[in-house]
Amino acid sequence: MSTEYYTLLAANLKTPVNSLSRLAIARGVSPGEDKLRQSHVYEFALTAESLYFEKSVRFQDIVFSTLYDLTIGHSGLLVTNILQVSTFFTHHGGVEKSVNDLVHGLKLDHDVKVLCTRSGAGTTVENEDGVEVTSVGSAISLSGRPVALRFPHELRRKTADVVHYHLPFPLAAGSHLLASPRAKLSVATWHHDLVRNPTFNRCIKPMMEAFLDRMDLILVTAPPMIEHVELLYRRRKKCRVVPLGIAHHHFEKIDGIQKSDSQRRPMLLFVGRLVYYKGCDVLIKSLANVDADLSIVGEGPLENELKELVESLGLAERVKFYGRLPDDQLFILYKECDIFVLPSTLPTECFGLVQVEAMLCGKPIINTDLPTGVPWVSIHNETGITVPPANIPALTAALDKLCRNEELRHRFGQAAKLRSMNFFTLEKHVETVRNLYQEYL
Residue 256 lies in a domain: yes
- Window from 70-74, 117-121, 257-261 with minimum mean pLDDT: 70-74
Mean pLDDT of 237-265: 75
Higher model confidence: residue 228 or residue 307? 307
Same domain as 370, residue 291: yes
Helices (H), 141-220: 151-156, 170-179, 198-214
- Window from 62-76, 80-94, 229-243, 257-271 with minimum mean pLDDT: 62-76
Same domain as 312, residue 192: no
Residues sharing a CB contact under 8 Å with residue 278, sequence separation 6 or more, in sequence order: 270, 272, 300, 343, 344, 345, 349
Residue 207 lies in a domain: yes
Share of the chain above pLDDT 70, in %: 77
pLDDT at 407: 97
Mean pLDDT of 248-268: 69
Residue 76 lies in a domain: no
Give the pLDDT confidence of 28-39 residue by residue, as tens digits.
434 444 443 444
d(CA 148, CA 201): 19
* Res 208 pLDDT > 60: yes
- Window from 170-174, 259-263, 415-419 with minimum mean pLDDT: 259-263
Burial (Cβ within 10 Å: 0-12, 13-18, ≥19) of residue 321: middle
Beta-bridged to residue 81, according to DSSP, are 111
Same domain as 101, residue 54: no
Helix (H) or strand (E) holding 402: helix 392-404
Among left, alpha and beta (phi > 0; psi -120 to 50; other), residue 193 is beta
- How sure is the predictor about 195, in pLDDT bands with cuts at 50, 70 and 90? low
Of 111, 133, 24, give the one whose Cα is nearest residue 73.
Answer: 24
Residue 402's domain spans which residues?
248-423
Of 173, 143, 140, give the one whose Cα is nearest residue 155.
Answer: 173
* Res 310 pLDDT > 80: yes
Residue 228 lies in a domain: yes
Same domain as 415, residue 276: yes
pLDDT at 40: 44
pLDDT at 274: 96
* Res 13 pLDDT > 90: no
CA angle 340/100/341 to nearest 5° reads 10
Share of the chain above pLDDT 90, in %: 63
Please give the mean pLDDT across all residues of the chain.
83
Higher model confidence: residue 227 or residue 32? 227
Judge whether 441 and 161 are in contact, CB under 8 Å.
yes
* Res 182 pLDDT > 70: yes
Beta-bridged to residue 344, according to DSSP, are none
Of 206, 203, 170, give the one whose Cα is nearest residue 85.
Answer: 170
pLDDT at 88: 86
Residue 56 lies in a domain: yes
Higher model confidence: residue 280 or residue 198? 280
Judge whether 185 and 216 are in contact, CB under 8 Å.
yes
Residue 27's CB: how many other CB atoms inside 10 A?
15
d(CA 114, CA 86): 8
Same domain as 86, residue 35: no
pLDDT at 321: 98
Read off the CATH number of the domain in which 335 is found: 3.40.50.2000
Q: What is the tally of structural domains in the chain?
A: 3
- How sure is the predictor about 198, in pLDDT bands with cuts at 50, 70 and 90? confident
